[in-house]
Structure 1
């Protein structure tokens, strides 16, 4: 154990990461997205349908989960920037958080036999541990990205495996989890997915998560008041974080609207929404490579503007189809834009962090990723407001089944096509105001 901790303490990255290190670092995208997607997609269904907990109690617990997760992001980010150890700033957080994260994820799906109050208490406690560990691990992994990959070229190349792993994690969390709990039960699913996540996180931790030798690591940490002042006064960060909020809202609205779109506009089974999602994600994987090449030849700002434009305009295509196949073809074009967003958003944020370090003398990856994580959580609220407003205005009534008023089809098409375009346009405007126009500082 002493030998291992000594090696972790002494290893530092002095040159560009090797391909093996970049792939190992990128592998972290798979388990983190697998856990996040499985949790968000199935936890309410599990506690309400399988365990019989009252939906209002689960909804209240999920609200508490959302608030805790949002607040943790800036707090953990600021602490990560301030705390110095012989092992670095990020590595101790990640190393200490991996096992609690995986165990807490498994326990979410393995509650003991308890009455309703006991199940809600179990949910709140276990999910609180899961939230803390998830933010600690994922935020610090994100904070390592701008440090490991120092130039736009390195970041464009290094982010490719990470985002591809992330998409694969999303797909498995969406499609693989139901297959597992249907065949081996919920506890079996929890054990299998947790074991996979643990193996990949450990590989990523030892193979790709390496801090650099930076002078800031030995300097006095920035004061709390200065942290806030420099972050929210940053002329590049403010339009970026607002643009991120709008584009994440656009994506959230699309994901929420697709099941309604498939059933009530296309007249198909709700399960066929997976075909539309599949078209988007399958196209996004090669598109990540395409956008990596584009940003290396232009600049982060220019490439991001193009990707937002492609995404927003492609969304209008959902107004026209009358079949699932035609909608899936639209999804292919949407996936090109999604691939750009996945590839470029963190590349742009890394550039903001570089510029901030030049001005302040401090590298504050944790603060920026933390505040960004806090703000974009607002997309969940905006998505819920949009969905409720559109469905109510169009006269949607769940008790009517498939016999909805004619206005519902039009309202849902607006929700899946026009509303995302509006939010994408707002994001494009924010990113257009982004002041850093060079490829590297």
Structure 2
């Protein structure tokens, strides 16, 4: 039997095995590896290494963000409506993996062109990367609440996925410079691309399995306007997605503020920023297991409220350290909260999807993950606005180097601690308004 026929004929009936959960979770590694490598180094590569004007690259990155945001709900709706012998999600993932990895590699392997040619190459290849990325990642996300059906299953099944994802985040920022520094950018592209292709193929073959009971034929008939109406009038989804946006904004601001904090508040070497980020990730990985146990004993709402509260209190403590060591200790506390948010938010979204399916008779994982992805992209905009406002108001002047006025130290500490606490408090209020208080919602069984 061929691999394609094997994937077509298999269906999941009952809880996934541990091997299937691990294989599905492994997809988090290449996704985050590509995401972090792209976000951390693509501007540097095209501006500093290839000499493309920074304004051109900035414009291309804005276009990239808009395209990525718009694609999420569109691909989600199309995925929900697809009917094939291979299922709704698996065909998208299977067809998208190779274009995704190839486009990722080609970003770092442009031909010898003028600056205008290079920016054209960048726009086209990144557009292909965006389309393939959304197609693959959104459908993997939409499979999560289908494969894992209860809070208990989702809490256990999300552990390997988040751990693999954090490892991808770390390696995407730590390994890439070592490779391109010693072997060059094309070698980095080929090595990382090969790893991503291998892991995604393993994950597709071993863990991405749709269920025996798919969806009722009437699901395909829900028009787009009705899709939007049911989504944006969902009393659980609206506070969830606003709270998620607030949380994502807090995290984005923290990551953006840490380099300024290390240099202008702690007066340490720029490289010490990795110590703070490392402390957050080191604490997040084991805490994911603890949060998994906690949500199984309580409910997604209770667990998320607890996680957001811990995160907010820990972040506020960045106000006081005077050394990298002290800040790293605070980072450990922040990491516990981050681990909770990584583990719990998708579990809560899965519960919302179950509730929507119970009320409407339509299983619309793709639309919910797509609209969520569209809205939380706003975190990047909010982070940029906050950083620009705080730095300007505090009197920051890049030409002064390390000789910044004392107001910059205060401004950076506010940006790292007080502003994220404000967004976190809004997130806590949104999740407090979240109406589903039970652990599980019974999904309808399709005929």
Shift in Å at residue 213 of structure 1?
Answer: 2.0
1:170-319 pair list within 5 angstroms: 170-216=169-215, 218-221=217-220, 222-319=222-319
Counterpart position of 2:72: 73
Q: Secondary structure at the match of 1:308?
A: helix
Using structure 1 for the length normalisation, give the TM-score: 0.99
Counterpart position of 2:52: 53
Tell me how many residue pairs correspond in the alignment: 440
String of CA shifts for 1:375-432, please: whole Å, max 9, x gaps: 0000000000000000000000000000001100000000000001000000000000
Counterpart position of 2:2: 3
Within 1, Cα distance between the matches of 2:216 and 2:392?
Answer: 54
Within 1, Cα distance between the matches of 2:216 and 2:42?
Answer: 40
Using structure 2 for the length normalisation, give the TM-score: 0.98
Counterpart position of 2:329: 329
8 Å CA contact retained: 1:102, 1:198? yes
Mark the CA change 1:45 to 1:211 in structure 2 (over 3 Å): closer, same or farther. same
Shift in Å at residue 332 of structure 1?
Answer: 0.4
Shift in Å at residue 219 of structure 1?
Answer: 3.5
String of CA shifts for 1:262-309, please: whole Å, max 9, x gaps: 000000111110000000001000000000000000000000000000
Shift in Å at residue 225 of structure 1?
Answer: 1.5
Within 1, Cα distance between the matches of 2:331 and 2:66?
Answer: 32
Shift in Å at residue 217 of structure 1?
Answer: 5.0
Mark the CA change 1:166 to 1:144 in structure 2 (over 3 Å): closer, same or farther. same
8 Å CA contact retained: 1:83, 1:89? yes
Shift in Å at residue 220 of structure 1?
Answer: 4.4
Within 1, Cα distance between the matches of 2:329 and 2:155?
Answer: 27
Dislocated runs of 4+, deviation >3 Å: 217-220
1:34 paired to 2:33: yes
Shift in Å at residue 218 of structure 1?
Answer: 3.5
Within 2, Cα distance between the matches of 1:293 and 1:184?
Answer: 43
1:376 paired to 2:362: no
Within 2, Cα distance between the matches of 1:235 and 1:81?
Answer: 21
8 Å CA contact retained: 2:219, 2:362? no
Counterpart position of 2:366: 366
8 Å CA contact retained: 1:88, 1:217? no
Q: Any gaps of 5 or more consecutive residues in structure 1? A: none
String of CA shifts for 1:19-59, please: whole Å, max 9, x gaps: 00000000000000000000000000000000000000000
Counterpart position of 2:407: 407
Counterpart position of 2:22: 23
Counterpart position of 2:344: 344
String of CA shifts for 1:137-187, please: whole Å, max 9, x gaps: 000000000000000000000000000000000000011111111111110
Task: Please report the RMSD computed on the Cα atoms of aligned residues, expressed in angstroms.
Answer: 0.8
Within 1, Cα distance between the matches of 2:114 and 2:418?
Answer: 45
Counterpart position of 1:12: 11
1:100 paired to 2:95: no
Within 1, Cα distance between the matches of 2:364 and 2:435?
Answer: 19
- Please, which moves more after superposition, 6-15 or 24-33? 6-15
Within 1, Cα distance between the matches of 2:165 and 2:214?
Answer: 32
Counterpart position of 2:445: none
Shift in Å at residue 103 of structure 1?
Answer: 0.3
Counterpart position of 2:444: none
8 Å CA contact retained: 1:305, 1:431? yes
Within 2, Cα distance between the matches of 1:60 and 1:91?
Answer: 34
8 Å CA contact retained: 2:219, 2:363? no
Counterpart position of 2:139: 140
8 Å CA contact retained: 1:84, 1:217? no
8 Å CA contact retained: 1:89, 1:217? no
String of CA shifts for 1:176-202, please: whole Å, max 9, x gaps: 111111111110110110000000000
Q: Secondary structure at the match of 2:12?
A: coil
Within 2, Cα distance between the matches of 1:104 and 1:209?
Answer: 23
Within 1, Cα distance between the matches of 2:72 and 2:197?
Answer: 22
Counterpart position of 1:123: 122
Shift in Å at residue 215 of structure 1?
Answer: 4.7
Shift in Å at residue 6 of structure 1?
Answer: 1.9
- Please, which moves more after superposition, 390-399 or 7-16? 7-16
Q: Secondary structure at the match of 1:321?
A: coil
Counterpart position of 1:436: 436
1:357 paired to 2:357: yes
Q: Any gaps of 5 or more consecutive residues in structure 2? A: 442-447
Shift in Å at residue 4 of structure 1?
Answer: 2.5
